[in-house]
Structures are given as structure tokens and as C-alpha cells.
């Protein structure tokens, strides 16, 4: 019997498919959260390999969770300077080296006094203009 355009037989066939899609989505969100949790402590180690784990986990979660996507956009509007490097890492063609370099400079500026900073001097030594 068709009631308001719904066919009970068609709905009964779609329910297992919808349940399977929802379970796959939940499993992907769980995988993304696990990757982000693993990536946070690894990001503090030398080499910063955890940033890659965190970015991949964030991509998986943002593509499969509407509420996470909404919260990410809200955080982006409130704190653009914090979220922008993350956005650069989760783009289809991520800019990994420029993001790492910029974050190292920011961290150095935040932690070390001016006379002890060395990343900027390294950059100026490598890319010194030749006069002549």
C-alpha cells in the first residue's frame, strides 16, 4: 500500500543498505579519531610524523561526519590563525614543507628569545641575495 509516496517493499529493501552505509560511516569516523589520537603525541617527536597521521584522521572524520564538519567551520571562523595550517594540510595537494617551516618559525618565536632564534638565520644564510 502506497502511503504518501512510500512503498513499504522498497523501503524494506533500502533499510539494510542504509544500515550498512551508516555502519561504514561510523567505522570510518572511529578510524579517523584513532588516527588523530595517535598523531597528537607523535607530532611532538622529532620528525613530526604525527602531523601526517593527524591530518589523515581529520580528513576522514571531516568527510564522514556532518557535525565535525560544522564544528571545524565554526572553529575556522573563530580562530583562523590556528586552523589555517590544518586547512593547508588537508587540501587535495597539501603544502607540507611550507606548513612545517612556518610552524617551526612560529614555535621558535613563541618559545625562544630573539638572540637564540636560529631558523630565520638559516633561511637568510641559504637564500642570501648576491650583490654584484
pLDDT given for residue 3 in this prediction: 53
3-state helix, strand, coil in the chain (%, to 5): 75, 0, 20
Average pLDDT over residues 96-123: 76
In this structure, are 84 and 99 located in the same domain?
A: no
pLDDT given for residue 131 in this prediction: 58
In this structure, are 99 and 56 located in the same domain?
A: no
pLDDT given for residue 61 in this prediction: 93
Q: Rounded to 5 degrees, what are φ and ψ at 55?
A: -65, -45
pTM (global) more than 0.75: no
Domain total in the chain: 2
In this structure, are 130 and 67 located in the same domain?
A: no
In this structure, are 41 and 99 located in the same domain?
A: no
In this structure, are 28 and 85 located in the same domain?
A: yes
In this structure, are 70 and 87 located in the same domain?
A: yes
Helix axes 119-126, 96-111, angle to 10 degrees: 130
DSSP string, 31-42: HHHHHHHHHHHH
The tens digit of pLDDT for each residue in 17-44 reads 888 888 999 999 999 999 999 998 888 8
The tens digit of pLDDT for each residue in 56-109 reads 898 899 989 999 999 999 999 999 888 888 888 777 787 777 877 777 777 777
pLDDT given for residue 10 in this prediction: 60
In this structure, are 80 and 99 located in the same domain?
A: no
Domain that holds residue 35: 17-94
Beta-bridge partners for 6: 3
Amino acid at each position: 500500500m502506497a502511503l504518501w509516496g512510500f512503498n513499504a517493499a522498497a523501503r524494506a529493501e533500502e533499510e539494510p543498505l542504509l544500515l550498512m552505509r551508516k555502519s561504514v560511516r561510523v567505522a570510518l569516523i572511529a578510524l579517523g579519531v584513532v588516527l588523530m589520537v595517535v598523531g597528537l603525541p607523535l607530532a611532538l617527536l622529532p620528525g613530526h610524523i604525527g602531523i601526517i597521521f593527524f591530518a589523515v584522521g581529520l580528513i576522514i572524520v571531516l568527510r564522514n561526519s556532518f557535525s565535525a564538519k560544522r564544528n571545524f567551520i565554526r572553529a575556522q571562523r573563530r580562530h583562523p590563525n590556528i586552523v589555517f595550517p590544518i586547512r593547508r594540510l588537508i587540501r587535495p595537494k597539501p603544502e607540507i614543507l611550507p606548513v612545517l617551516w612556518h610552524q617551526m618559525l612560529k614555535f621558535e618565536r613563541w618559545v625562544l628569545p630573539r638572540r637564540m632564534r636560529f631558523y630565520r638565520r638559516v633561511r637568510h644564510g641559504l637564500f642570501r641575495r648576491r650583490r654584484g
